[in-house]
Amino acid sequence: MRVSARELRAVRSGGLLTSYALLGEAAYVVVRVPASGSAGTSLEEPCRREHWGLVLRGEVRLHGRHERAFGAGTAFHVAPGRTHRLSASASAVIAGFAPITEPIDETPTGLASRGIEVVRRIATPALPPAEIRIAGARVRSTVTGQVQTVSALMGDWLFTRSTFGPISGFGDGWCDLPHWGQVIDGTLLLRWEHGEIELLSAGDVFCCPRGVGGHRIEVAEAATMIDYTPVAAVRDAGLRRAPRAVSALRVIVEAGMPADGAGGPNGDLAAGEGLHPVS
């Protein structure tokens, strides 16, 4: 399943302009901060929810027991539990994926009942920066031929940044794992075992859902993408996994989570407000 930046739906709520796409079990969301900054918007409301974010433009700050700042091109994760709030610089743009835990009513009536205004016209969301920084510990980097992957555990999801050189990809076996991701730079081919082919370009978001057969990624020239994969799926011995999953399993084990699924939910990943930045 592929969605381009131009196909995102747009709404306004809590002083923020938001574009989004529902991708099966998760949603992709892009939040635009007003030119005046995030003060007075819902972004700065205290919360305890979990966040997965990618700063596309400007700077985002996490406020809590400790304060952290993330510039454009930084992927970050805020674990649930402790009260925290976010703030952002003027005209900042933040993207992210989030699990869908309950049905979402997208009808105008349903949105209006929640104080959400449908926006008919909106400029195409900002493209991701060409470089995605990893700014924390507990990461694993591997190089196989023309492909480099960097993985880190983010709560119940595994985050991976993959950089492909010419004539490369994850084409040495079908993969059944579900993924939600975005193309950062270049163009790649998502090939499905049942014969369908999807061409993905920079800015496109995609979903490889579970239960629809295997998939693999092929790259002709060069490309970079990020994706999120449920940890439970990576550890599922009943699913076919591409060779890159071996590195993924090592990330999980090194974080204190046995590959067979036993052990605690998150392990002791980092100090601070449950924050696990990736660079």
Q: Which of 132, 141, 139 is nearest to 154 (CA)?
A: 139
Summarised one tens digit per residue, pLDDT across range 232-279 is 888 887 777 766 666 666 666 666 555 554 333 333 233 233 444 443
Same fold, 2-118 and 139-254: yes
Rounded to whole angstroms, the Cα distance separating 114 from 117 reads: 9
- CA quadruple 209, 215, 218, 224: dihedral sign: positive
Rounded to whole angstroms, the Cα distance separating 1 from 8 reads: 13
* Cα 244 from chain centre: 18
Residue 70 near residue 277 (C-beta atoms within 8 A): yes
Residue 261 near residue 230 (C-beta atoms within 8 A): no
Per-residue tokens: 244: 């890159």
SS3 label, residue 6: helix
| Residues contacting 217, CB < 8 A, separation 6+ | 164, 169, 170, 171, 188, 189, 190, 191, 225
Residue with tokens 């196989």: 144
Rounded to whole angstroms, the Cα distance separating 118 from 81 reads: 31
Fold of 139-254: Jelly Rolls (2.60.120)
Of the two residues 108 and 271, the one the predictor is more confident about is 108
Rounded to whole angstroms, the Cα distance separating 193 from 149 reads: 23
pLDDT for position 151: 84
Summarised one tens digit per residue, pLDDT across range 11-35 is 888 899 989 999 999 999 999 999 9
Rounded to whole angstroms, the Cα distance separating 155 from 36 reads: 32
Phi, psi of 234 (to 5 degrees): -60, -35
Question: Residue 110: pLDDT above 70?
Answer: yes
The length of the chain is: 279
Give the domain ranges of the chain. 2-118, 139-254
Question: Residue 134: pLDDT above 90?
Answer: no
| Residues contacting 164, CB < 8 A, separation 6+ | 146, 147, 186, 188, 217, 219, 222, 223, 224, 225
What dihedral do alpha carbons 149, 153, 158, 162 form, nearest 10°?
Answer: -20
Domain 2-118 architecture: Sandwich (2.60)
Summarised one tens digit per residue, pLDDT across range 194-223 is 889 999 999 999 999 887 888 999 998 899
Q: Which of 261, 279, 246 is nearest to 77 (CA)?
A: 279
SS3 label, residue 233: helix
